[in-house]
Amino acid sequence: MRFLITGGAGFIGSHLAERLVQRGDSVSVLDNLSTGSLENIEHLVDTGQVDFHLGSIQVPYAVEKLVDEADFVVHLAAALGVKLILEKPVESIETNVTGTQIVLEAAARNRTPVLIASTSEVYGKSNKIPFCEDDDVVLGPTRKSRWSYAASKMLDECLALSYWEEKQLPTIVVRFFNTVGPRQNARYGMVLPTFVQQALEEAPITIHGDGKQSRCFCDVRDTVEAVTKLIDAQAFGEVFNIGSTQEISIEDLAMLVRQRVDSRSQILYTPYDQAYGRGYEDVQRRVPSVDKLHGVTGFRPKITLPEIIDRTAAHLRSAMTEVI
């Protein structure tokens, strides 16, 4: 099968490209390298296993040409990371909404199936745990840019599902919950690689807030496996959570990272206002139900957090050695 991955030079996209090539599919990647890196897929491009195209999902002609050549589109390209969303909310909204609309319009011409990447952010401040795909959502006020990302991804989901219902375009929506692992870049505010990097450097491990907020961290290998199984199941017209159900507080995460890395780093606490500016809101718990994913594919993410930390640390150690 011929796949097009938008954002395929990014963290999840590069791992997905590897997995698809491994199983015998052909892969093209469209990426503007704003947050991704050619280094992530260089080994696949150099061997001719992946065709790389430098470009933006906001340029219709470039998107249409590549979509026309594909049997399936995996749309991962998006603005990401808390820091980027807060610093450039207009760019983030336009990238997510306009880019997704262009991809869906191009795919609709030949009814090329599309998997749209969404996020656990769409659940907002809901107190219902675990989060299920058909739950109501609770977002904060629009004057707080913290919620613009969630709103834009909700609109992406609505567009995808509307194309399925109105234009019979086969679409699947997946909501990622804190996917982590090698190649994830700390500079966009991703907590796990940030903690591991700080621990390796014996720098203070910096927690935003009181550290009591909790998350579930899913290894990128599990995320990619779930995506491929949903594609193979042709689970069109549906929304699926993809994430681990192993919950941990950010405070405990910092301590676990320090232990696994064998670091002497101090743990410091930084108020949200100091880290992100005034008025920032965080979500206390974010735990997915993956029963729907399991029901359709028979798959549940299973890689443990200690193993994830060890793999991330090994990758970052290698990168640090190369720099030296």
Catalytic site positions: 149
Q: For residues 321 and 314, what is the distance between their CA atoms, to the nearest angstrom?
A: 11
Residues 6+ apart with CB under 8 A from 250: 191, 207, 208, 209, 211, 212, 213, 214, 215
First vs last Cα of the chain: how many Å apart? 41
Name which of 239, 242, 255, 249 is nearest 303 in CA terms: 242
The residues facing 73 across adjacent strands are: 4, 114
* Amino acid letter, 143: R
Angstrom distance (rounded) from CA 123 to CA 139:
7
Distant-in-sequence, close-in-space partners of 191: CB < 8 Å, separation ≥ 6: 215, 250, 253
CA-CA distance, 161 to 238, in Å (whole number)? 8
Strands 205-208 and 114-119: what pairing? Answer: unpaired
